[in-house]
Structure 1
Amino acid sequence: MLSLAVVLPLSACSPGLAANPRYATDSGAGPQGAPETSDQPAGPPAVEAPKNELSWRDCTSRVFASASVPPLPGVKLDCASYDADLDSINGASGTVSIGVVRATSQQTPADAGPLVMTTGSDVPSSVQLPAWLSRAGADVLKTNPIVSVDRRGIGMSGALDCRDLFDRQEMFEQAQFQPGDDPVANLGAVTMTATTSCTDTIAPGDSAYDNAHAAEDIERLRTTWDVPALALFGVGNGAQVALAYAGAHPTKVARLVLDSPLPLGVSAEAATEQRVKGEQAALDAWATQCVATNCPLGPDPKAAVDALMTDARAGRGPGGASVAALADAISTALGYPRGGRVDAGNELAQAIADARGGNTNRLNNLINQAETLRQTDGQFVNTCSDALNRPTPDRVRELVVAWGKMYPQFGTTGALDMVKCLNWPSGSAPAEPSELEIPTLLLGVANDPIVGNEGVAAVAATAINAGSSNRRVIWQGIGHGAAIYSPCALPPVLEYLTSGELPSTDTYCPA
């Protein structure tokens, strides 16, 4: 039945976004002049099966249950871990445990090489993998196993526990209920304590939880497997990790699929504003869909959201919820929908309608899910390690006002989010790829509340500068990860994974 879910929507998936001539033709360009004398086959390297396997153990039921996804008939999940150097870049001693999950089906060829998937610090890869498989992702298993890699300190990779309960909750609520009229100062004081606690916990590795080190963890997996190159599928922050890997190890990449990416050197302020714009776009698209499907919120769903947030700002949030908790719950529900597009949208609408009527059970569930999925200590450490060129506290104060006007539902909480990383030790961006000889497949979502939709163009420029041809697949829906949530966006990934060749044109996928 999964194959039908992929095939049926394809009639609505059509080429669009006319390919930029600069990279529309170079994927087919070949050497000029004298004939080649190399015995190497033309095209990208093959995706080879590991020569040395990890110690896999069946974890099908546990991983599907952790992701709140029913097990899929014929799909098996195996778990393993391996040790990576704590800081192979700067030489600090010690190791960290990296957790991985391998998905196979009864159709997966025994000699097929894996597609390595990472979602970075956005959500645990081991949680997003079952969600992908429950949609169209299981079609990948017909040709290749999928191995998800949890970023260090997150999920199965030795999850961190470094903040006390009070600090963790205050950061989730952005210290809204602290006395005084300076939320930046209140949240900054809490964040200072949390930063000290976490850097003490991970010392001497406080600089070892960034994109560059996450990329080296993937390189350790490649060398453990003893394969010449990897097929990489990175989503969101995971796309940054994959891009960092391509920068450090350009000859070790057999396929490079970057879904919902951001460039490696993006500043904290620019990345946050892109996310806030994505949250607003996703809310607008959801409201339009909500009205079209006759959802429980009537003709003006955004007015219902505004009413809840207004109450929360006044300390009358449903169930005592803060504005930040509401904003995070809505963004998470839109970014990681459960079930079908309409059903997931209506579930959010019903939760808001219930809360306005005094029943907060559904909304509390969404708040708890968002906190569990996206607000762990490991995500705090990794996200702040990647936050570059952070604004000053006074700049954040300016943005709290400016963004609050420009982006009514998410601007203020988005600006305050940047306070969480202001005290973290500063880092630097990984090197961008150069002399990247394989093509790059880029995917994006028009209404992405996790990273926004501006990163694809910037990363396309990075690929071109590295000498890599590219194509784009853009889904006009709501969510984070075009290949995760759009059956239309998956066939170009399958074609590229199998052949190493990009689609002939960019692709437009309707919502």
Structure 2
Amino acid sequence: MLGVVLSVALSACAPGLAANPRYATDAGAHPQGAPQTSKQAPGPPAIEAPKNDLSWRDCTSRVFGAAAVDPIPGVTLDCASYDADLDPINGASGSVSIGVVRAKSAQTPADAGPLVLTTGSDLPSSVQLPVWLSRAGADVLAQHPIVSVDRRGIGMSGALDCRDLFDRQEMFEQAQFQSGDDPVANLGAVTMTATTSCTDTIAPGDSAYDNSHAAEDIERLRTTWDVPALALLGVGNGAQVALAYAGEHPNRVARLVLDSPLPLGIAAEAATEQRVKGEQAALDAWAKQCLATNCPLGPDPKGAVDSLLTAARAGNGPGGASVAAVADAISTALAYPQGNRVDAGNELAAAIADARSGNTNRLNNLINQAETLRQTDGQFVNSCSDALNRPTPDRVRELVVAWNKLYPQFGTVGALDMVKCLNWPSGTTPKEPHDLKIPTLLLGVQNNPIVGSEGVAAVAATAINAGSSNRRVMWQGVGHGAAIYSPCALPPVINYLKTGQLPQTDTYCPA
């Protein structure tokens, strides 16, 4: 299943990469400089073990199986849940169930405090965790257990079911096969029905599924555990959740690792364009790799993708698939590669080559995986709750034309994606962090098809404004999450968790 623009004035006040940044190698990075001793005071808070733990039950086989990952010898996964207030911010009564998964190994110290992982609404954290463990993430377990937290309504957190099958499919296909020549109006009509159905389903919590409420769900976990502070690793939208947590609870953060982040106040149009730029960059990088490895698409891999998308746009997609379904399948395969990068890239190339010759089995599998992974009702509710300063329908119509020229493979699909949230109740920007007394470790990916690569600079400025020093670890590969998919990016994270100290320089990791 998995292995799956804000370039504004803020970036002007963000620091450039440090002078003489260390260039890492594929063999992995090592701690930079002499580490500070844990006895130094003042220092970051300790990562403490829970005083009151949850009721864990073994779920190793189930969780690894759901992520299509083979179990790892010596690694056990335990599942639990806890109740969080439905809307502590606005005072609505009721509660929601939050699902969590804990990973431990035989080397994990019994008295070690956990690292809390969230991927937000990008995909269930409980699905990303076993994938990370199957790559390099299990190295973290030598120091800390990892506890993944699913956002409310997603994965193990009481997954939502609020759209009917027709609306769900029409939204996935962006209503391409409806009559009429106004795709914005067609998709908008479907979205209106879906929005009404979902807000009715979650009432009175129709404003309780945004980043701020996801942050309060993590705070409920901290108070349940009765620990003074948490070590947080947020990836993608999960980085926004972690930032929102730091904004509301700056003194409750022991470590803050933000991987592939977006700033909290980014507008929907800017966030979408940043994503589309990332999709284009990822496609370009994949095409170059494809050529270098003699992949099944011959001398023009990008041309083959163009041909497939053009056919789908004209209603002749593989197996009748829409252009949105094909584009999402490609970007999801690039974002969440299965296996090593060459094999994963060649597998995508083989799927495209097969589809062009009439065999749609592999591509249909990728389409189904993309829909299952990224298009659930809970993700619709959460991502729309987070979408700020949305464009008008007329602005989307302008962007459909403009982005089709600027970003030929993904621009139109990206512009139409914004229609899905136009009818959702407007949200508010979470509080920015302030008086943050711990350093922040930032990670980014040069070719990220989920959030692009520009958020790191903006979030660095946010950290500085909050009084937090920062360092960056930049991976020059393709995927969503440097710590997840680059073994080179993980040692700086492990050292930061251990010491609370940042690397002395920024770090580059090669593709």
Shift in alpha-carbon separation, 1:485–1:70, aligned structure 2, 3 A: same
SS of 1:449's equivalent in the other structure is coil
SS of match in other structure, 1:94? strand
Specify the SS of the correspondent of 2:452.
coil
Deviations 1:465-510 (A, max 9, x none): 0000000000000000000000000000000000000000000000
In the other structure, the counterpart of 2:415 is: 415
Q: 1: CA distance between counterparts of 2:271 and 2:341?
A: 26
Percent identity between the aligned chains?
85
CA distance in 2, matches of 1:401, 1:157: 39
**Residue aligning to 1:113:** 113
Displaced runs of 4 or more, over 4 A: 8-16
Residues 234 and 258 in structure 1, CA contact (< 8 A), matched pair in contact too? yes
Conservation of the 8 A alpha-carbon contact between 1:9 and 1:487: no
Query: What pairs with 1:410-449 in structure 2 (closer than 5 Å)?
Result: 410-449=410-449
Q: CA contact under 8 A between 2:161 and 2:377: conserved in structure 1?
A: yes
Residues 385 and 462 (structure 1 numbering): CA distance in 2 closer, same or farther, change over 3 Å?
A: same
Q: 1:484 to 1:12 in 2, by over 3 A?
A: closer
Confirm whether residue 222 of structure 1 aligns to residue 186 of structure 2.
no
Return closer, same or farther for 1:54/1:86 CA change in 2, 3 Å cut-off: same
Q: Take 2:314 and 2:475, find their aligned partners in 1: how far apart are those partners?
A: 38
Which residue of structure 1 lines up, in the alignment, with residue 75 of structure 2? 75
The equivalent of 2:132 in structure 1 is: 132
Distance in 1 of aligned mates of 2:333 and 2:206 = 31
Q: Which residue of 2 aligns with 1:149?
A: 149
| Aligned AA (2:285) | A
1:8-36 CA distance string (max 9 Å, x none): 955475999xxxxxxx9xx99xxxxxxxx
Q: Cα distance, 1:464 vs. partner?
A: 0.1
Tell me the equivalent position of 1:330: 330
Root mean square deviation, CA, Å: 1.6
Q: Who is 2:469 aligned against?
A: 469
* Residue 45, structure 1, aligned to residue 45, structure 2: yes
DSSP 3-state at the match of 1:101? strand
Aligned to 2:437, the other structure's residue is in SS state coil
Mark the CA change 1:55 to 1:13 in structure 2 (over 3 Å): closer, same or farther. closer
Match for residue 21 of structure 1? none
Structure 1 residues not aligned, in runs of 5+: 1-7, 17-23, 29-38
- Alpha-carbon distance in 2 for matches of 1:503, 1:139: 18
Cα distance in structure 2, aligned partners of 1:101 and 1:15: 29
Aligned to 1:364: 364
> If the length of structure 2 is used for normalisation, what is the TM-score?
0.93
Aligned-partner Cα distance in 2 for 1:15–1:451: 28
Give CA-to-partner distance per residue, 1:277-333, whole Å, 9 cap, x none: 000000000000000011000111000000001111111000000000001000000
SS where residue 71 of structure 1 aligns?
Answer: coil
Please name the residue that 1:159 is paired with. Answer: 159
1:290 aligns with 2:298: no
Residue identity in the other structure for 2:367? I
Counterpart residue number, 1:20: none
Aligned-pair CA distance for 1:361: 0.2
Q: Is the 8 A contact 1:15 1:508 kept in 2?
A: no
Whole-Å separation in 2 of the counterparts to 1:347 and 1:424: 37
C-alpha separation between the residues in 2 aligned to 1:497 and 1:125?
A: 20
Q: 1:411-458, CA deviations, whole angstroms, 9 ceiling, x for partnerless residues?
A: 000000000000000011100000000000000000000000000000
Aligned residue type for 2:96:
V
The CA deviation string for residues 101-136 of structure 1, in whole angstroms up to 9 with x for no partner, is 000000000000000000000000000000000000
**CA shift for structure 1 position 42:** 1.9
The superposition leaves residues 190-230 of structure 1 with CA deviations (integer Å, 9 ceiling, x where unpaired) of 00000000000000000000000000000000000000000
- Report the Cα distance in structure 2 between the residues aligned to 1:348 and 1:398, rounded to whole angstroms: 32
2:77 aligns to what SS in structure 1?
Answer: strand
Correspondence for 2:478: 478
- Aligned counterpart, 2:488: 488
Q: Secondary structure at the match of 1:78?
A: strand
Matched, 1:392 2:392: yes
Paired residue for 1:305? 305
Unaligned runs of 5+ in 2: 1-23
- Whole-angstrom CA distance in 2 between matches of 1:282 and 1:107: 36
Q: Which amino acid aligns with 1:278?
A: G
- The 1:12–1:228 alpha-carbon spacing in structure 2 relative to 1, beyond 3 Å, is closer
Matched residues in 2 for 1:42 and 1:432: separation?
24
User: Secondary structure of the equivalent of 2:93?
Assistant: coil
Query: Does the CA contact (< 8 Å) of 2:63 and 2:77 recur in 1?
Result: yes
The one-letter code matched in structure 2 to 1:313 is: R
- How far off is 1:41 after superposition? 3.8
